Amino acid sequence: MRMYETVTENSEKVEKVLCNCCGKEIKKEQGYFSDHLHIEKQWGYFSQKDGRKDDFDICESCYDKFVNSFVLPI
């Protein structure tokens, strides 16, 4: 989950990033966020979510749990 700060009337910057799985804050050091997974998905035709846009962030620990749950390994 990204939280934004308004810079000007027409622009924003990411102020804080939280893991959507565990809620933990992604650390920010020297202006950069620690490595994490950010996914954006625009759903299209033939889905139950046509027209919806989802986006979320996952910390490395939750990513490891997520991919370890796959039936077919990555």
Q: Beta partners for 23?
A: none
Three-class SS state of 61: helix
- What pLDDT is attached to residue 68? 97
Q: Residue 51: what pLDDT? A: 92
Q: What is the pLDDT of residues 13-57, one digit of tens each?
A: 999 999 999 999 999 999 899 999 999 999 999 999 999 999 999
The structure's pTM equals 0.84
Residue 49 phi/psi, 5-degree rounding, is: -120, 25
CB of 47 closer than 8 Å to CB of 41: no
The structure tokens listed for 13 are 């910057």
